[in-house]
Chain A
Amino acid sequence: DIQMTQSPSSLSASVGDRVTITCRASQAFGNWLAWYQQKPGGAPKSLIYGTSTLESGVPSRFSGSASGTDFSLTINNLQPEDFATYYCQQYNSFPPTFGGGTKVEIK
């Protein structure tokens, strides 16, 4: 199985900040990586697929990138509604696996 190591597990930031969350894969694969946002009590919401393609309706302040086995989610100009937990997921190979999550909290 491909292990996805996500970091940091939590971070504190202010409105307007830029934050970056990273997922490191245990082995190299293509671009089949997604990012999800989950708010307390809510369903996960898909943000990005294919490493860098934004889902319809997702603000352009969200972006995804990759470098080798490291995948990143960047949020520019952090907004109050962005405080949530974020998960990466690889769907390159079976079984699909998720990162442990990153909780973005208000500083």
Chain B
Amino acid sequence: EVQLLESGGDLIQPGPGGSLRLSCAASGFTFSTYAMTWVRQAPGKGLEWVSTISSSGDRTYYADSVKGRFTISRDNSKNTLYLQMSSLRVEDTALYHCAKDWLGSGAPIYYMDVWGKGTTVTVSS
């Protein structure tokens, strides 16, 4: 069974000192073949694409709202996706889902066929 399990969410204060690393453990598929994505959902709101990484990790893509503050990475030997978040803002408060790209071509197509339940990040003073 294909599974994605996120972790690392926490309550953190806003500002330049505020940083957090989210993890997503993948199982049930050949992780190294697929691009992976983070999508977030603010409380009571809809889905917002955050960042995507190619299967090998050599290409990364970011939403303007997080560019320069968030870094996506992956460890294919550990079947794990990461999102390093820094300079967190109140508006970054959300449930963060990781998701698997549908096509195992290396480059993302941005259609995600498997999602995790998410991990909650709360940015508040």
Contacts and interface: CB of A to CB of B under 8 A. Distances in A.
Interface residues of B, number: 21
A66 B49 CA distance: 23
| Interface class of chain A by DSSP | loop
A52 to B, nearest CB: 14
A49 B111 contact: yes
Contacts of B110: 91, 94, 96
Contact of A45 (B4, B39, B111, B115): B115
Given A32-B111, A34-B111, A44-B97, A98 B49 contact: yes
B116 A43 contact: yes
Interface of A: 32, 34, 36, 41-46, 49, 55, 87, 89, 91, 94-101
Nearest to B62: A95
Given A41-B117, A43-B116, A98 B46 contact: yes
8 contacts: A36-B47, A43-B117, A44-B99, A46-B112, A89-B47, A91-B111, A95-B63, A99-B46
Nearest to B49: A96
A94 B47 contact: no
